[in-house]
Amino acid sequence: MGVEVGGLFGLVILIADIWAILNIVQSNITTAKKLVWILVVLILPLIGFIIWWLAGPRETASG
Q: Domain of 43?
A: 5-55
- Whether 41 is in a domain gets the answer yes
- 45 domain residue, yes or no: yes
**Residue 20's pLDDT is what?**
94
| pTM (predicted TM-score) | 0.78
Give the three-state DSSP class for 22. Answer: helix
Among 46, 50, 42, 47, residue whose Cα is nearest residue 25: 42
Identity of residue 3: V
Task: Please indicate, yes or no, if residue 40 is contained in any of the structural domains.
Answer: yes
Contact 54, 41 (CB under 8 A): no
Q: How far is CA 24 from CA 1, 4, 21, 35, in A?
A: 37, 30, 5, 9
Spatial separation of the C-alpha atoms in residues 14 and 53, rounded to whole Å: 15
Domain contains 51: yes
What is the chain's pLDDT, residue by residue, as a tens digit (63 residues)?
Answer: 555 557 888 889 999 999 999 999 999 999 999 999 999 999 998 899 899 989 887 765 554
Q: What is the pLDDT of residue 59?
A: 65
Number of domains into which the chain is organized = 1
pLDDT at 63: 47
Q: What is the pLDDT of residue 57?
A: 75
44 in a structural domain: yes
